[in-house]
Amino acid sequence: MNATLLKHGRRALLFIIFSLAFSPAGAQKFALIDMDFVLKNIPAYERANEQLSQVSQKWQAEVDALTTEAQTMYKNYQNEVVFLSAEQKKARQDAIMEKERQAAELKRSYFGPEGELFKKRQALMNPIQEEIYNAVKDVAELRGYQLILDRASDTGIIFGSPKIDISDEVLRKLGYSN
């Protein structure tokens, strides 16, 4: 249901944008950009993706090794459980759970929302994205574009002139001040 609302919301936004673009009062200039095409033609972007892929594979191998170790410990435990005392069973179970916890923690630290891969991606990609944004902004200002839409993306807007931003006006209309 949320996806449907989001889809209709995007359609409504695009309808409003294009309605304004083609109305006499909305003489703003718009342009399209294909960010996939732009990124594919920037060697630094390809190098950054390769670095991210390599480090991701290395880190995944480390996580997989711990997971395999935990699985081996569990299989050994299952094979020997009938011969173990209650204390030995508890010790083995605790060791297996600790190994599983270590694997989960390592995975989270590498691949979690604020993990090492996220940080590495930001470090490598932010300078490239900033450079692209500045180039788009320069072209927009040079040619008088008010809005740049990405035709390769669901989000769409790459650059919007602050002159056409009505956020403050909408907040005032809702009774909020900034």
Tens-place pLDDT, residues 37-86: 888 888 899 999 999 999 999 999 999 999 999 999 999 999 999 999 99
One-letter amino acid of 71: Q
Rounded Cα distance, 177 and 99, in Å? 53
Tokens 């932010």 found at: 126
Q: Give the 3-state secondary structure of residue 175.
A: coil
Sign of CA dihedral 29, 35, 40, 45: positive
Q: Tens digits of per-residue pLDDT, 101-134?
A: 999 999 999 999 999 999 999 999 999 998 888 8
Check residue 1 and give its pLDDT. 43
pTM over the 0.85 mark: no
Of the candidates 120, 139, 144, 11, which has an alpha carbon nearest to the alpha carbon of residue 58? 120
Rounded Cα distance, 58 and 147, in Å? 41
Show Cβ contacts of residue 125 under 8 Å, excluding neighbours closer than 6 positions.
Answer: 45, 48
Q: For 48, what's the count of Cα atoms within 13 Å in the CB-facing half-sphere?
A: 20
Rounded Cα distance, 16 and 126, in Å? 31
Rounded Cα distance, 171 and 103, in Å? 47
